[in-house]
Amino acid sequence: MWQKDKDHFIHPFTDFSVFHEEGCELITDSDGIYVEDSRGNRFIDGIAGLWCVNVGHGRAEIGQAMADQATRMAYFSTFNNLSNAPAAELSAKLAELAPSHLNHVFYSCGGSTANDATIRLVHYYFNRLGKPNKKRIISRNNAYHGTTYLAATLTGIESNNWAFDTLDHLVTHLSEANCYRRPEGMSEAEYCDHLVEEFEDTVAEIGADNIAAFIAEPIMGAGGVLVAPTGYHKRMQAVCRANEILYIADEVVTGFGRLGHFFASEAVFETQPDIINCAKGLSSGYAPLGATLISDEIYEVLGTPQGKGGVLSTGFTYSGHPVSCAAALKSIEIIEREAICENVREVGPYLERQLKTLGHHATVGNVRGSHFMMCLENVADKDTKALLPVEARVGDRIAFEAQKRGLIIRPVGHLNVISPTLIWTRETVDTAVAILDEALSAATESLQRDGFL
Ligand code: PLP
């Protein structure tokens, strides 16, 4: 299997210099908070697969729900006035869980396709309103919105798009909200003013008539688990409202319990997005699925034919796939039945506190995040916040040392992300933090040995 993988599988986001030498570790088994590799090593999964296995691994009842649906009717079209029961039921459930004005669902295959489909629908919406110039999307540096052509253009992580082309005429990026690296001497409140002013200035420069939407993750994930200053999202939404700019919340990571609520936009950040996008935790990663939750107001336009016989001519073969929707329905049932959001609200602050105890390690410049979405930022110098050289591979070193001790965390450049399954208990937190403590000491020693510290 290792050889077949090495010879034929082009892996996403993989360093081929390492891959050509070492190939990949095969993850073969899973159970609850654990995954196991092909050699029988068991690890606590500290990244929930890829921020997605929210209800934990090996849930037989999700497997059974998928098997039942696949056996009864695995697939049929949802085009041309056809539907299926799991898609209909899931749509109603999402409308119930989402903020009250979001009552309509457009399905896709994951987060990138959800964002891509959303932008096409937003453009279509303004075209239908007779405002064809409202096309530009405002995103942010270091945002991550996926890797279809359009989603990659929305993404603001420069290194992600290196040597790839993007559709630059469609997207403008603002500064990210990075409290740790905000300008020297600025309070958090002043920083918030500064970011909102930047948005207002950008709107004035481009012209509200040319801007369709603003898109933001409630907490920026892959770009570094960046928590915006208090009130930021609400104020950005106010700028949107004042300028007829739609506010799109990309809740691909924050949705389905990661911050202690099914959706974070309203419950945590007091915003009422016109559109919420979700994927990942929607089906807890048991099947590919993305969803765009759309307001009544926008639906009124999308749901009106362009003319006699006109159809909304966009969608995917797998929009509302019955097996994926069955997986999502069961995952949501588990989140509700086991009070998983409540668990995150209870254990999340404990995880935050315990991770902060690691701040004494030489490389740990910042511990940030919220609830089950956390990150360590590693630096060479805590006062200047200067980074270690890329060759030090500090994130990789720490992740490697943690994995050796039974915990998988994710290296993202000089950062380490911890985004566990949402079923961690306080005891799991204690075990994970003890492993991280040892891993950080070992990584510091190896950095010193190699002359980086
Ligand atoms: N949006 C956000 C906030 C994400 O974190 C991701 C993936 O990590 C995506 C979109 C893209 O989702 P997918 O990889 O399912 O296409």
pLDDT digits (tens, 9 = 90+) for 280-315: 999 999 999 999 999 999 999 999 998 898 999 999
Question: 399 CA to middle of ligand 1, Å?
Answer: 21
**Is the CB–ligand 1 distance for residue 110 below 6 Å?**
yes
With bands split at pLDDT 50, 70 and 90, how would you rate the model's confidence at 344?
A: very high
Question: Is the pLDDT reported for residue 187 higher than 90?
Answer: yes
**Is the CB–ligand 1 distance for residue 218 below 6 Å?**
no
Domain positions in the chain are 2-55+339-449, 61-337
**Is the CB–ligand 1 distance for residue 176 below 6 Å?**
no
Question: 145 CA to middle of ligand 1, Å?
Answer: 5
- The pLDDT, as a whole number, for residue 309 is 87
Q: Calculate ∠ Cα 267-268-272, nearest 5°.
A: 60
- The pLDDT, as a whole number, for residue 325 is 98
Question: 438 CA to middle of ligand 1, Å?
Answer: 31
Is the separation of the CB atoms in 51 and 280 below 8 Å? yes
Query: What tokens were used for 384?
Result: 């200047």
The closest alpha carbon to 247, from 263, 231, 234, belongs to 234
Average pLDDT over residues 380-407: 97
pLDDT digits (tens, 9 = 90+) for 216-263: 999 999 999 999 999 999 999 999 999 999 999 999 999 999 999 999
Average pLDDT over residues 371-385: 98
Is the separation of the CB atoms in 374 and 227 below 8 Å? no
**Is the CB–ligand 1 distance for residue 250 below 6 Å?**
yes
pLDDT digits (tens, 9 = 90+) for 259-272: 999 999 999 999 99
Query: What tokens were used for 156?
Result: 């603001």
Q: How many CB atoms lie within 10 A of CB 311?
A: 11
Is the separation of the CB atoms in 386 and 377 below 8 Å? no
**Is the CB–ligand 1 distance for residue 217 below 6 Å?**
yes
Question: Is the pLDDT reported for residue 30 higher than 90?
Answer: yes
pTM (whole model) above 0.95: yes
Is the separation of the CB atoms in 420 and 372 below 8 Å? yes
Question: Is the pLDDT reported for residue 61 higher than 90?
Answer: yes
**Is the CB–ligand 1 distance for residue 145 below 6 Å?**
yes
CATH architecture designation of domain 2-55+339-449? Alpha-Beta Complex (3.90)
**Is the CB–ligand 1 distance for residue 279 below 6 Å?**
yes
Give the chain's end-to-end CA distance (angstroms, integer).
Answer: 39
**Is the CB–ligand 1 distance for residue 264 below 6 Å?**
no
Question: 277 CA to middle of ligand 1, Å?
Answer: 10
**Is the CB–ligand 1 distance for residue 112 below 6 Å?**
yes
3-class DSSP state for residue 397?
helix
Ligand 1 mutation pick, 109, 253, 258, 282, max ligand atoms within 8 A of CB: 253
Residue closest via CA to ligand 1's atom 5 equals 253
Establish how many alpha carbons lie within 13 A of residue 140's alpha carbon, considering only the half-sphere containing its beta carbon. Answer: 29
The span from the CA of 361 to the CA of 356, in Å, is: 10
pLDDT digits (tens, 9 = 90+) for 198-213: 999 999 999 999 999 9
With bands split at pLDDT 50, 70 and 90, how would you rate the model's confidence at 338?
A: very high
Is the separation of the CB atoms in 245 and 239 below 8 Å? yes
DSSP per position, 264-314: HHHHTT----SEEEE-GGGTTTSS--EEEEEEHHHHHHHTS-SSTT-----
Average pLDDT over residues 114-131: 98
Average pLDDT over residues 317-325: 98
- The pLDDT, as a whole number, for residue 411 is 96
The span from the CA of 126 to the CA of 120, in Å, is: 10
The closest alpha carbon to 181, from 9, 365, 47, belongs to 365
Q: Give percent of the chain with pLDDT exceeding 90.
A: 98
Which of the listed CATH numbers 3.40.640.10, 3.40.50.720, 3.50.50.60, 3.90.470.20 matches domain 61-337? Answer: 3.40.640.10
The span from the CA of 436 to the CA of 447, in Å, is: 16
The 10 Å CB-count burial string (b at 16+, else e) for 335-366 is: beeeebbebbeebbebbbebbeebeebbbbbb
Residue closest via CA to ligand 1's atom 1 equals 145
- The pLDDT, as a whole number, for residue 361 is 98
Question: Is the pLDDT reported for residue 402 higher than 90?
Answer: yes
